[in-house]
Structure 1
């Protein structure tokens, strides 16, 4: 994770709440289209659908995945609303929650709800449900990472266990039981100044299992497979993004000092590093490249800013949507490719959303393709808005639907 992303999620812990910043019902614009062979969607219109929230907690940097016929959201720092106040405390390093779908698969939006984070009681919300409060921490901190909050007793440093990408579902059984994995960097930062203490930290591989259950308080079981699946100084494949297609999991990680690398593994062998292959110099190899090897770079596979990879069967294209690097604005860039290896087109601006007014106005840009109906031609987007304490004392997660030309 980049330092600026660490700053974003850390600084947002101490914000203070007013009303959510809302966009008009519709924002319509047209961008020029250049002739191309590859898929190059352009934004036709953008509609602010709702804020994604459980008003009783303030959640930072949420991503999502379809699991058991609902959407599972995995979020970073989560603070619980103090009873009878507009203040939030007891920060946990990550949590999860559920949102519902309509029968056609679209998000189940409701008008109004409890006032709190992202909700004034009358605006549209996509209500996140789950254990109340939504604790404990979902992805557990390691025994050497100052559990359970991650804040070390000496007060000088903190372990974060922040998911950069949502869970990757590798298999769904006939009874609906889902198996999924998440790669999380073992980030260690200073408590003040937010200095990164390990620039290329080791990575924990987490495995989760979920059998569909109508009880919203039931969340997937999760356990660490290996607390150093990728060692410190190695490419953290899977943390930057992932996509499953054709029996393979394709895992993206960041090079140092810049660039995006790619690995693949059969979906039934996620935990077996001997089955991994790496894309280097235009071909697949079983030799893992060094994090500084420029031959491992896949040009234009993202901007190195946080985002989401997915496969669009309608367009027969792999897609990345996310934040330009080192931007701190809600400017969503997009790149596409006919295969996970590329060639990826130069990322271009797809949509610009409303920002907060603090030092880090917007971050953690995410795309949510599983919320689309079969008839939709577009994408759902979210991001985290960050505000000055005098403006709004909570994280706000707008949900926008962008239609394509």
Structure 2
């Protein structure tokens, strides 16, 4: 079998080398806004997010009406399937519906969710594996961004870097293009049972190669729901240089003419270059995987995630009064339990949609990917996702 993300995470460092005012407006700096530092009150593992049929990697999620919608990376099925991505639902009952210690992630088991394209080796099947041992890994790094429509329809947007990798996961093409996918939720069709929202490729090269992949590192929506703020990582060809920021009216995600970009302390219609350190938003993430969102409880934008691209289950938090900062220095607030495999834990994510307030209250749910060797077969690795409930003071 072609190596999975979990089996070669240590090479991901090489691959990584590879919402306050509407667009056009100037934030009111005269308003006295302060960064906050959340204080942990309690944290405990309450379940495992899983489904018996699938062994999944690196899952993200977002609220869609009365259910949570999940997208995951490399997924191995009991029928021998292996896909770069799968999608699923989970249910609520006064919070996440937990049964026998499990939050079940269920959905149609009918193939890859974000499908490879004709120029991405064996389009639509086999996880983008190419005949020469290389691979296009179409991995979602951040959750779909929801845009509400009429009659309870929802458009879900996902930016995915077109990662072209060697067998050891080192990048063949550094800083490739980023594709924009749209999942279309219609409650009459996807509001029941296992049916998943169908996916459309909006633009395979929405962000061209050698440009900042806004949205792939994460996003947040302004408190008034009118503006989407998109984070992408700067890169000098050798290492990530931190996060940059773009914004767009929430109903204009597909129209690049409506985007503006933060650079040199202000907003511009011209996107900065991939290496432009003047566009860096200090402390907006750590280069490690994580999640951005707005918290009305703290009146702040939040980032929760890993301290870097490494092996571990520690969660860090940073906050800012406005999306462009200033962001507080990320601090460690929770350590999970690593698995017993060599790649024991990684891919930290927060899940605001699982809370009763959709991220606006004094709690948050977290997951990470945990790798364990099977007791009867140490060469077989099982990936699970501990579900942690955090309560802030």
Q: Please give the TM-score of this superposition, normalised by the length of structure 2.
A: 0.86
Correspondent of 1:66 among 60, 63, 66: 63
> CA offsets, 1:258-311, max 9 Å, x none?
110000011111111111100001100111100101000000101110000000
Report the secondary structure of 2:381's partner residue. Answer: coil
The verdict on how the C-alpha distance between 1:335 and 1:153 changes in structure 2, with shifts beyond 3 A counting, is closer
Correspondent of 2:37 among 37, 40, 65: 40
Cα RMSD after superposing both structures: 1.9
Pair 1:400 & 2:379 matched: no
What is aligned with 2:22? none
Correspondent of 1:50 among 47, 51, 56: 47
Correspondent of 1:182 among 149, 158, 178: 158
* Structure 1 stretch displaced more, 213-222 or 298-307: 213-222
Pair 1:137 & 2:112 matched: yes
Pair 1:216 & 2:193 matched: yes
CA distance in 1, matches of 2:228, 2:215: 9
Report the secondary structure of 2:175's partner residue. Answer: coil
The verdict on how the C-alpha distance between 1:296 and 1:315 changes in structure 2, with shifts beyond 3 A counting, is same
- Return the offset for 1:150: 3.2
Q: Please give the TM-score of this superposition, normalised by the length of structure 1.
A: 0.83
- Residues 366-385 of structure 1 mapped to structure 2, 5 A cutoff: 366-374=349-357, 377-385=362-370
Pair 1:77 & 2:74 matched: yes
CA distance in 1, matches of 2:365, 2:299: 18
Any unmatched runs of 5+ in structure 2?
Answer: 10-32
Any unmatched runs of 5+ in structure 1?
Answer: 1-5, 13-35, 83-88, 112-123
CA distance in 1, matches of 2:309, 2:77: 30
> CA offsets, 1:335-384, max 9 Å, x none?
00111111100000011101113332211100011211249522100000
- Return the offset for 1:391: 7.6
CA distance in 1, matches of 2:7, 2:268: 38
Conservation of the 8 A alpha-carbon contact between 2:247 and 2:260: yes
Conservation of the 8 A alpha-carbon contact between 2:295 and 2:361: no
What is aligned with 2:97? 108
Conservation of the 8 A alpha-carbon contact between 2:35 and 2:326: no
Aligned length: 353
What is aligned with 2:212? 235
The verdict on how the C-alpha distance between 1:152 and 1:370 changes in structure 2, with shifts beyond 3 A counting, is closer
CA distance in 2, matches of 1:152, 1:127: 29
- Return the offset for 1:255: 0.4
